[in-house]
Amino acid sequence: MYLLVVYDVDVNRVNKVHKFLKTYLHWRQNSVFEGEISRAQFNEIKRGLKELIDETSDSVLIYRLPNKNYLYIDVIGIEKNPIEFII
């Protein structure tokens, strides 16, 4: 599956969430990660995020797609960290 994760967390937890997501996904820009993962990795990400955030004040949105073919991206302005695909 292909994941897009967007988060808005307290400044005291931002670096921990960033570091955690970086082990699974590609960093796109501030508070945005994306990438292809397995079902097991998806469950690990959800479990890990629940441990890192405060669910009463933080927010994490996870968009799931069957694969990257269903994702269309229009960039306005600079693309901060483009993903390079090698075939």
CATH number of the domain at 52, please.
3.30.70.240
Q: How confident is the model over 17-74, as pLDDT tens digits?
A: 999 999 999 999 999 999 999 999 999 999 999 999 999 999 999 999 998 888 888 8
> Residue 76 — very low, low, confident or very high, per pLDDT cuts 50/70/90?
confident
pTM, entire model: 0.85
Look at residue 12 and tell me if it is in a domain: yes
Look at residue 83 and tell me if it is in a domain: no
Residues 6+ apart with CB under 8 A from 1: 36, 37, 38, 39, 42, 64, 65, 66, 67
Give the count of domains, the chain.
1
**Measuring CA to CA, how many Å separate 12 from each of 15, 52, 58, 68?**
7, 11, 11, 32
Residue 55: domain span: 2-70
CA pair distance 40, 82, nearest whole angstrom: 26
**pLDDT reading at 87 higher than 50:** no
Look at residue 25 and tell me if it is in a domain: yes
CA pair distance 66, 23, nearest whole angstrom: 21
**pLDDT reading at 86 higher than 60:** no
